[in-house]
Amino acid sequence: QVQLQESGPGLVKSSETLSLTCTVSGGSVSGYYWTWIRQPPGKGLEWIGYIYYSGTTNYNPSLKSRVTMSVDTSKNQFSLKLSSVTAADTAVYYCARDRSSHFDFWGQGTLVTVSS
Amino acid sequence: DIQMTQSPSSLSASVGDRVTITCQASQDISNYLNWYQQKPGKAPKLLIYDASNLETGVPSRFSGSGSGTDFTFTISSLQPEDIATYYCQEYDNLYTFGQGTKLEIK
């Protein structure tokens, strides 16, 4: 059973960069797409972007200018960086395995709060 | 951009009821539509993919149908453990989620 675990700071200052890592266990990052999704408190789901194990990326146009994703196959991890954060970026951030259509395995999510 | 409109936004039903949620796409997305269940404090869980295919291990009381712009998600007999928020998600053009339907027990 594939398992994903998000890790990173739970508090980020406004205008700084949010950095999260997703560690995959029970399977390999190789051969798959991997996605980040976020959910502001009490609101719906927003797709941030995906990365293929080879490093190819595709980002939500609304966030594209601030998002960078990377993958480390040797560590079985992939990462998200979101720059110039504001209070609007406060959310639970999920990583998930992306089957190019649906998301079949998800991490438990991690709350990131942007403080002023 | 494709817009996904779910209705209703909230729903109250009794155990044993048949429950239906709809999702409308702003343009034709063929059958590129999935349904997820999210319980409070938990990650979403895939229930239905490609509009009508039941994910492995998901109870058969859940079903989906539709194509083009109009889609339906049905719980044939509501169980207490089905209390959750349900989201549709398209993948015709990147990925867009509906705004969610919060399901409560009457």
Calculate mean pLDDT across residues B58-67.
Answer: 98
Q: Nearest Cβ partner of A45 from B45, B50, B87?
A: B87
Does the CB of B64 have a partner CB in chain A at under 8 Å?
no
Closest CA to A63 of A101, A33, A103, A36: A36
Does the CB of B97 have a partner CB in chain A at under 8 Å?
yes
pLDDT single digits (tens) A92-101: 999 999 998 9
Calculate mean pLDDT across residues B26-37.
Answer: 96
Does the CB of B89 have a partner CB in chain A at under 8 Å?
yes
E strand intervals along chain A: 3-7, 11-13, 18-25, 33-39, 46-52, 57-59, 67-72, 77-82, 91-98, 103-106, 110-115
Mean pLDDT in chain B? 96
Report chain A residues whose CB lies below 8 A from the CB of B44: 45, 94, 103, 106
Q: What is the pLDDT of residue B1?
A: 87
CB A6 within 8 A of CB A107: yes
Phi, psi of A44 (to 5 degrees): -90, -170
Q: Do B43 and A94 touch (CB under 8 A)?
A: yes
Does the CB of B20 have a partner CB in chain A at under 8 Å?
no
Calculate mean pLDDT across residues A57-68.
Answer: 97
Task: Please name every residue paired with B74 in a beta bridge, in sequence order, or none if there are none.
Answer: B20, B63
Mean pLDDT in chain A? 97
Sign of CA dihedral A26, A29, A31, A37: positive
Distance (Å, rounded) from C-alpha A25 to C-alpha A47?
22
Share of chain A above pLDDT 90, in %: 97
Distance (Å, rounded) from C-alpha B105 to C-alpha A34?
35
Residues with Cβ < 8 Å from B83, sequence gap 6 or more?
B39, B103, B104, B105
CB B38 within 8 A of CB B45: yes
pLDDT bucket at B93, cuts 50 / 70 / 90: confident
Q: Is pLDDT above 90 for B94?
A: no
Q: Nearest Cβ partner of A58 from B55, B94, B97?
A: B94
Q: What is the pLDDT of residue A52?
A: 97
